[in-house]
Amino acid sequence: MSTTASPQKKRRLSNPSIEDRKVVINEPTKKTKQDNLNNGGVSISNNAVTTNTETTETPSVLSNLPTSSNTRANVNTSVNNSPKPVGQNNNSNMSVSTSGINNNNKEKEKESISASTTSPTSPVKGKGSMNQQIHQRTSSTSSTHTQQLNVPLSQLPPHELLIRCTKKEEEIQTLLGELQTLSQTLTPEFSYDLSLRKKFLDPATNILFRTMKKELEDKDKFIESLQRELEGVGFTPNSITGKKLVAKLLALQNENEELGRQLRQGRVEQYEIEIALQRKVIDELKQGLEESDNQLISLDAEMERLQNLLFQMRAKVKSYEEKYGPLEPDNKDDAAETSTIKEKKLETFALKMSTSCNGEIDEEKNNDEAAFKTATASVLLRSTPVPENSVTVKGPDFNQQLTLHELLENYSRIGFQAFSVGKAIELINKMRRWRLSDEPILPDETEEYKDPLIRSTTKCKIFLGYTSNLVSSGLREIIRFLVQHSLVDVIVTTAGGIEEDFIKCLGPTYLADFELNGSELRKNGMNRIGNLIVPNDNYCKFEDWVIPILDKLLEEQISKGIIWSPSKVINRLGKEINNPESIYYWAYKNNIPVYCPALTDGSLGDMIYFHTFKNPGLVIDIVSDIKSINQQAVFAKKTGVIILGGGIVKHHICNANLMRNGADYAVYINTGQEFDGSDSGARPDEAVSWGKIRMNAEHIKVYADATIVFPLIVAETFAKDIHK
CB atoms closer than 10 angstroms to residue 44:
14
Confidence (pLDDT) at 357 = 57
Q: Would you say residue 108 has pLDDT above 80? A: no
What's the average model confidence in pLDDT over 441-468? 91
Q: 22 CB contacts (<8 Å, ≥6 apart)? A: 56, 83, 84, 86, 95, 96, 97, 98
Q: 488 by DSSP, 3-state: which?
A: coil
Residues 32 and 93 in one domain: yes
- Expressed in angstroms, the distance from the first to the final Cα of the chain is 91
Q: Is residue 46 included in any domain, yes or no? A: yes
> Edge-to-edge strand order for the sheet containing 93-97?
54-55, 22-26, 93-97
608 closest CA partner among 534, 515, 688, 543: 543
pLDDT, tens digit, 9 for 90 and up, residues 270-291: 888 888 888 888 888 888 888 8
> Is the CB of residue 648 less than 8 Å from the CB of residue 622?
no
What's the average model confidence in pLDDT over 287-302? 84
pLDDT, tens digit, 9 for 90 and up, residues 138-149: 455 544 544 555
5 closest CA partner among 45, 48, 69, 57: 57
337-361 burial, b for 16+ CB within 10 Å, e for fewer? Answer: ebeeeeeeeeeeeeeebeeebeeee
- Please give the DSSP secondary-structure letter assigned to residue 193: -
Pick 35 or 220 by higher pLDDT: 220
Pick 43 or 190 by higher pLDDT: 190
Pick 347 or 702 by higher pLDDT: 702
Confidence (pLDDT) at 86 = 38
Q: Is residue 552 included in any domain, yes or no? A: no
Q: Which residues pair with 490 in a beta bridge?
A: 463
Q: Would you say residue 186 has pLDDT above 70? A: no
Q: Is residue 365 included in any domain, yes or no? A: no
Q: Would you say residue 125 has pLDDT above 70? A: no
Q: Is residue 35 included in any domain, yes or no? A: yes
Confidence (pLDDT) at 445 = 85
Confidence (pLDDT) at 199 = 66
Q: 527 CB contacts (<8 Å, ≥6 apart)? A: 521, 533, 534, 535, 536, 539
What's the average model confidence in pLDDT over 392-396? 90
- Assign 574 a pLDDT band (cuts: 50, 70, 90): very high
Q: Would you say residue 223 has pLDDT above 70? A: yes
Residues 230 and 246 in one domain: no
> Is the CB of residue 364 less than 8 Å from the CB of residue 358?
no
Q: Would you say residue 26 has pLDDT above 70? A: no
Confidence (pLDDT) at 523 = 95
Confidence (pLDDT) at 352 = 60
Give me the torsion for CA of 95, 96, 98, 104, rounded to 10°: -140
Q: Is residue 521 included in any domain, yes or no? A: no
pLDDT, tens digit, 9 for 90 and up, residues 497-541: 999 999 999 999 999 999 999 999 999 999 999 999 999 999 999
Active site residue 106: no
> Is the CB of residue 479 less than 8 Å from the CB of residue 497?
no
- Assign 93 a pLDDT band (cuts: 50, 70, 90): very low
Q: Is residue 661 included in any domain, yes or no? A: yes
Residues 713 and 621 in one domain: yes
Which span out of 87-91, 270-274, 716-720 was modeled with the highest average pLDDT?
A: 716-720
Cα gap 76→65, rounded to integer Å? 13
CB atoms closer than 10 angstroms to residue 550:
23
What's the average model confidence in pLDDT over 29-46? 42
Residues 430 and 315 in one domain: no
Confidence (pLDDT) at 663 = 97
Q: 602 CB contacts (<8 Å, ≥6 apart)? A: 468, 494, 495, 496, 498, 499
The domain of 662 spans: 411-507+563-722
Which span out of 126-130, 306-310, 341-345, 366-370 was modeled with the highest average pLDDT?
A: 306-310
Which range has the worst mean pLDDT, 164-178, 221-235, 253-267, 274-288? 221-235
> C-alpha 334: how far from its chain's center?
110
Which range has the worst mean pLDDT, 63-72, 138-147, 337-346, 428-437? 63-72
Residues 130 and 229 in one domain: no
Cα gap 91→223, rounded to integer Å? 61
Cα gap 170→62, rounded to integer Å? 18
Residues 457 and 570 in one domain: yes
Residues 149 and 248 in one domain: no
- Please give the DSSP secondary-structure letter assigned to residue 352: H
Residues 309 and 230 in one domain: no
What's the average model confidence in pLDDT over 550-568? 95
Q: 623 CB contacts (<8 Å, ≥6 apart)? A: 565
What's the average model confidence in pLDDT over 668-675? 94
Which range has the worst mean pLDDT, 191-200, 665-674, 712-721? 191-200
Q: Is residue 633 included in any domain, yes or no? A: yes
Q: Would you say residue 50 has pLDDT above 90? A: no
What's the average model confidence in pLDDT over 18-46? 41
Pick 191 or 309 by higher pLDDT: 309
Of the residues 132, 162, 192, the one at which a domain ends: 192
Percentage of the chain beyond pLDDT 70 is 68
Pick 577 or 284 by higher pLDDT: 577
- Assign 348 a pLDDT band (cuts: 50, 70, 90): low
Residues 156 and 50 in one domain: yes
Cα gap 186→285, rounded to integer Å? 104
Q: 668 by DSSP, 3-state: which?
A: strand
Q: Would you say residue 556 has pLDDT above 60? A: yes
141 closest CA partner among 103, 174, 111: 174
- Assign 304 a pLDDT band (cuts: 50, 70, 90): confident
> Is the CB of residue 675 less than 8 Å from the CB of residue 704?
no
State the burial class of residue 659 (Cβ atoms within 10 Å of its Cβ: 0-12, 13-18, 19+): middle
Confidence (pLDDT) at 21 = 40
pLDDT, tens digit, 9 for 90 and up, residues 400-410: 899 998 899 89
pLDDT, tens digit, 9 for 90 and up, residues 193-216: 566 666 667 777 778 888 888 888
Residues 228 and 246 in one domain: no
Q: Would you say residue 106 has pLDDT above 50? A: no
Q: 610 by DSSP, 3-state: which?
A: helix
Which of the residues 461, 650, 692, 701 is marked catalytic? 692
The overall longest dimension of the chain from CA atoms, in Å, is: 198
What's the average model confidence in pLDDT over 685-700? 95
Cα gap 523→544, rounded to integer Å? 22
Cα dist from 286 to 158, 277, 278, 290, 298, whole Å: 134, 14, 12, 6, 18
- Assign 37 a pLDDT band (cuts: 50, 70, 90): very low
Helix (H) or strand (E) holding 491: strand 490-493
Q: Is residue 543 included in any domain, yes or no? A: no
Cα gap 445→452, rounded to integer Å? 13
Residues 255 and 150 in one domain: no
Confidence (pLDDT) at 102 = 43
Which range has the worst mean pLDDT, 230-239, 294-303, 661-670? 230-239
648 closest CA partner among 532, 522, 462, 497: 497
What's the average model confidence in pLDDT over 278-307? 84
For 61-129, the DSSP string reads GGGG----SS-EEEEE--B-SSPPPTT-B-SSEEEEEGGGS-HHHHHHHHHHHHHHHS-TT-TTTTHHH
Q: Would you say residue 110 has pLDDT above 60? A: no
Confidence (pLDDT) at 72 = 37
Residues 472 and 451 in one domain: yes
pLDDT, tens digit, 9 for 90 and up, residues 5-18: 444 433 343 344 43
Which range has the worst mean pLDDT, 255-259, 637-641, 674-678, 704-708? 255-259
Our count of domains for the chain comes to 4
Report the mean per-residue pLDDT for the chain.
77
What's the average model confidence in pLDDT over 546-562? 94
